[in-house]
Structure 1
Amino acid sequence: MLDERDRKILDMLQRDATIAVSDLAERVALSVSACSRRIQRLEEAGYIERRIVVLNREKIGLPTTVYALVKTAHHTDEWTEEFRRAIGDIAEIVEAHRLTGHYDYILKIVLPRVEHYDVVYRRLVRRLELFDVTASISMETMKAGSAVPVDYAV
């Protein structure tokens, strides 16, 4: 069971995983050793999956985001696993979700420029038979981030 301090620790770490344990401990009113033990417990319990660095996409030459909506006529477990492998092999596909509704999947693709989408598209359709792919170019990121609310954590 998580308490309010655990939730604060989770919230602060997901916003800045580089925060010093001493700073974090001070902000949640704990000793450094107690805070460190809580972090370790949260990691062992699976609340913290991993710690990552978020890169500046402009600086590394990937300013363009394309969302591809994919429809397939295949829904077998084997096809789904092959789709998983195919998208896993394409580094530009940074996120993928299986959907309800008209389309089966949505892919978030990061690119150096919009013209590079064709390269990614061709790599994907060489490996899989797709019924329909519709792509939309993101014109502006209005909200981005990976932080999730911690209020629901139990």
Structure 2
Amino acid sequence: MDKIDRRILNLLQQDATMPVAEIGKKVGLSTTPCWRRIQKLEEEGIIRKRVALLDPAGVNAKVTVFVSIRTSSHSAEWLKRFSEVTAEFPEIVELYRMSGSIDYLMRVVVPDIAAYDAFYQRLITRIDITDVSSSFAMEQMKYTTQLPLDNLLLD
């Protein structure tokens, strides 16, 4: 990956609908070589997919909850079951296995507190969890899906 690839990726992260000809112009390439680079980045899995970012309030996803989970079971079987169960909950938009005192951290989006409570009740009936702690976001101060490519060391 070189500087041109990074510039292409930065442009696509800002607007994935930008025409290839315009991207090429901005990075100093003609359309065909620019398209080949984009295809190569897709084939290598660097570009995983192109999506539309929605306004949460516009689709009634007004409440964001960060859920910290601790479990007393750390077996491969429990992890497999946990992964299967959480995959069935569309409210969970991010899920991480953590180091430290928290085993898992998830970001959940729901319309309101009642919807979160219903989510919580469904979750705890499906999988054995030692401790669940929920923190409700009061204000989103920064949100981006754009990775900081200029700050990362790339080959």
- TM-score strictly above 0.5: yes
Question: Following superposition of structure 1 onto structure 2, how do residues 84-123 of structure 1 map, counting pairs within 5 Å?
Answer: 84-123=83-122
SS at the partner of 1:108?
strand
Structure 1, gaps ≥5 residues long: none
**Percent of aligned positions that are identical:** 38
1:69 Cα deviation (Å)? 0.4
Question: Following superposition of structure 1 onto structure 2, how do residues 50-61 of structure 1 map, counting pairs within 5 Å?
Answer: 50-61=49-60
1:36 maps onto 2:45 in alignment = no
User: Which amino acid in structure 2 is aligned with residue 17 of structure 1?
Assistant: A
SS at the partner of 2:107?
strand
Question: Following superposition of structure 1 onto structure 2, how do residues 60-99 of structure 1 map, counting pairs within 5 Å?
Answer: 60-99=59-98
CA distance in 1, matches of 2:97, 2:2: 33
- Indicate the residue corresponding to 2:6 in structure 1: 7
SS at the partner of 2:59?
coil
Task: Give TM-score, length-normalised by structure 1.
Answer: 0.96
RMSD: 0.9
- Indicate the residue corresponding to 1:48 in structure 2: 47
1:27 maps onto 2:6 in alignment = no
CA distance in 2, matches of 1:66, 1:88: 17
- Indicate the residue corresponding to 1:149 in structure 2: 148
Task: Give TM-score, length-normalised by structure 2.
Answer: 0.95
Where do 4+ consecutive residues of structure 1 move more than 6 Å? none
1:102 Cα deviation (Å)? 1.1
Higher fraction of helix: 2
User: Which amino acid in structure 1 is aligned with residue 154 of structure 2?
Assistant: A
CA distance in 1, matches of 2:87, 2:154: 29
CA distance in 1, matches of 2:15, 2:62: 22
CA distance in 2, matches of 1:125, 1:46: 35
CA distance in 2, matches of 1:46, 1:117: 34
1:104 Cα deviation (Å)? 0.5
CA distance in 1, matches of 2:113, 2:25: 46
1:153 Cα deviation (Å)? 2.8
SS at the partner of 2:80?
helix
Aligned length: 153
